[in-house]
């Protein structure tokens, strides 16, 4: 890299998605000079099918603190007023309502593009953006991180006190840094689509557990859901290619008799897409001059919609650690900063992975006594205020919010 004159930054962020963009705003608020390197221009326009995320109330408050939420809200969000958890054709149901937590919604269903559009509107003029650009090499040294990139104008050398990998599940930077992962393939795929039921959903999100995995129905607007339907690989392939009328009939059967009685049949669908589910966890969230956030650090099964919310808490914890260094006039990429970030994420990360994987394990067992116990368990949870309050606070992201 010596043949290039390096441009220096306090923070270099690889990956310009929601977590990378939010972190850049945090760094700007701390008065730090930041750069984002992104391979593809951010998708801030409409897509088919509509790719959405479920933001917890806690994540909404985080975006609000960055000054972004009002722009996202103006583009259109669907509040989750209630969450209903059941198992298809089994007894028992847990209902969580926003009024029980004294908040206006437990979460919000938002198009990915709307979040990115809001974030990037606030990033303009505040950070240097290299896009489209690819990382050619990195060097993590005692005094700085060095990054060689290639964009339309050729190769460039950048130098930063801290390098942050926010480049997703198959993180190039994590691999370049020699950080391994552990986890497993769930041998399941998720079908995503927007659908309309016969009856109004009243902004209720449904998590319906089935033998092949969960089926989530998230309110997309006043009349439609965005679904994530977990299926075995061969089932997913057949379902993806079905004519619309067959797809809707199968989906109507899949939600079970109780939900059909509440929602009616599914009567309209948009286009469909399919993606695999896996658990992937980095063996370390940090290395010398390097921090991993979002899917670069952890990729989860989407049950309970925890992935991005966990990533946003990575952003907040790293920003807090860096902020302490700034206020103390210390090196923002020093090991003490990275250790504070690593330690601050350990318990939350383990708790969420345990929760999501535990749900899958419990509901994938089809033995009759286990299924019977699940039904009674769901019925009993509704009558246990302390346990229900714990579920409510975790679903809304309140238990992880900083005071």
Are 282 and 298 in contact by the 8 Å Cβ rule? The answer is yes
Candidates 3.30.9.10, 2.60.40.10, 3.10.28.10, 3.40.630.10; CATH matching 186-276: 3.30.9.10
Give the Cα separation of 217 and 395 in Å (integer). 15
Give the Cα separation of 253 and 100 in Å (integer). 31
Annotation: CATH topology of 7-182+277-396: FAD/NAD(P)-binding domain (3.50.50)
pLDDT in tens, the chain (403 residues): 445 578 999 999 999 999 999 999 999 999 999 999 999 887 766 666 678 999 999 999 999 999 999 999 999 999 999 999 887 766 667 788 898 888 999 999 999 999 999 999 999 999 999 999 999 999 999 999 999 999 988 999 999 999 999 999 999 999 999 999 998 888 889 999 999 999 999 999 998 888 788 899 999 999 999 999 999 999 999 999 999 999 999 999 999 888 999 999 999 999 999 999 888 999 999 999 999 999 999 998 776 567 899 999 999 999 999 999 999 999 999 999 999 999 999 999 888 887 676 666 555 545 444 444 444 455 555 555 565 676 667 677 776 664 3
Query: What's the DSSP call for residue 245?
Result: H
Contacts of 356 (CB under 8 A, 6+ apart): 300, 301, 303, 304, 306
Give the Cα separation of 113 and 78 in Å (integer). 14
Least Cα distance to 208 among 190, 223, 230 occurs for 230
Q: How many CB atoms lie within 10 A of CB 347?
A: 10
Are 325 and 332 in contact by the 8 Å Cβ rule? The answer is yes
Contacts of 238 (CB under 8 A, 6+ apart): none
Are 83 and 106 in contact by the 8 Å Cβ rule? The answer is yes
Least Cα distance to 374 among 226, 210, 263, 241 occurs for 210
Contacts of 164 (CB under 8 A, 6+ apart): 11, 12, 13, 14, 20, 23, 290, 291, 292, 293, 318
Are 110 and 55 in contact by the 8 Å Cβ rule? The answer is yes
Give the Cα separation of 246 and 44 in Å (integer). 32
Q: Domain coordinates of the chain in residue numbers?
A: 7-182+277-396, 186-276
Least Cα distance to 55 among 42, 68, 45 occurs for 68
β strands within 40-90, DSSP E: 52-56, 77-80, 82-87
Are 217 and 206 in contact by the 8 Å Cβ rule? The answer is yes
pTM equals 0.89
Give the Cα separation of 187 and 76 in Å (integer). 34
Are 10 and 23 in contact by the 8 Å Cβ rule? The answer is no
Tokens found for residue 32: 């730090």
């Amino acid at each position: 890299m010596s043949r290039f004159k390096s441009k220096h930054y306090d923070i270099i962020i690889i990956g310009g998605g929601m977590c990378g963009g939010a972190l850049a705003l945090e760094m700007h608020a701390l008065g730090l000079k930041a750069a984002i390197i992104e391979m593809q221009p951010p998708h801030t326009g409409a897509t088919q099918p509509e790719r959405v995320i479920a933001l917890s109330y806690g994540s909404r408050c985080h975006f609000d603190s960055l000054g972004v939420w009002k722009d996202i809200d103006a583009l259109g969000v669907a509040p989750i007023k209630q969450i209903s958890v059941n198992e298809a054709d089994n007894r028992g149901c847990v209902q969580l309502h926003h009024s029980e937590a004294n908040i206006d919604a437990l979460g919000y269903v938002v198009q990915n593009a709307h979040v990115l559009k809001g974030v990037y509107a606030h990033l303009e003029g505040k950070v240097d953006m290299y896009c489209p650009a690819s990382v050619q090499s990195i060097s993590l040294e005692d005094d700085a991180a060095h990054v060689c990139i290639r964009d339309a104008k050729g190769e460039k050398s950048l130098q930063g006190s801290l390098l942050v990998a926010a480049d997703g599940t198959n993180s190039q930077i994590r691999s370049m840094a020699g950080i391994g992962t552990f986890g497993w393939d769930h041998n399941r795929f998720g079908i995503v689509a927007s659908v309309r039921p016969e009856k109004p959903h009243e902004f209720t999100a449904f998590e319906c557990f089935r033998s092949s995995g969960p089926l989530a129905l998230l309110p997309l607007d006043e009349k439609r859901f965005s679904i994530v339907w977990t299926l075995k690989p061969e089932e997913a392939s057949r379902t993806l290619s079905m004519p619309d009328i067959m797809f809707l009939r199968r989906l109507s059967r899949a939600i079970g008799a109780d939900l059909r009685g509440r929602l009616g049949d599914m009567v309209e669908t948009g286009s469909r897409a399919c993606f695999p589910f896996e658990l992937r966890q980095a063996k370390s969230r940090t290395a010398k001059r390097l921090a991993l956030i979002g899917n670069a650090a952890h990729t989860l099964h989407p049950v309970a919609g925890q992935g991005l919310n966990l990533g946003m808490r990575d952003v907040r914890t790293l920003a807090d650690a860096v902020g302490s260094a700034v206020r103390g006039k210390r090196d923002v990429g020093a090991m003490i900063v990275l250790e504070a970030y690593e330690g601050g994420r350990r318990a939350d990360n383990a708790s969420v992975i345990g929760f999501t994987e535990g749900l899958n394990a419990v509901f994938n067992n089809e033995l009759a006594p286990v299924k019977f116990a699940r039904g009674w368990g769901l019925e009993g949870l509704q009558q246990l205020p302390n346990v229900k309050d714990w579920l409510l606070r975790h679903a809304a992201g309140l238990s992880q919010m900083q005071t």
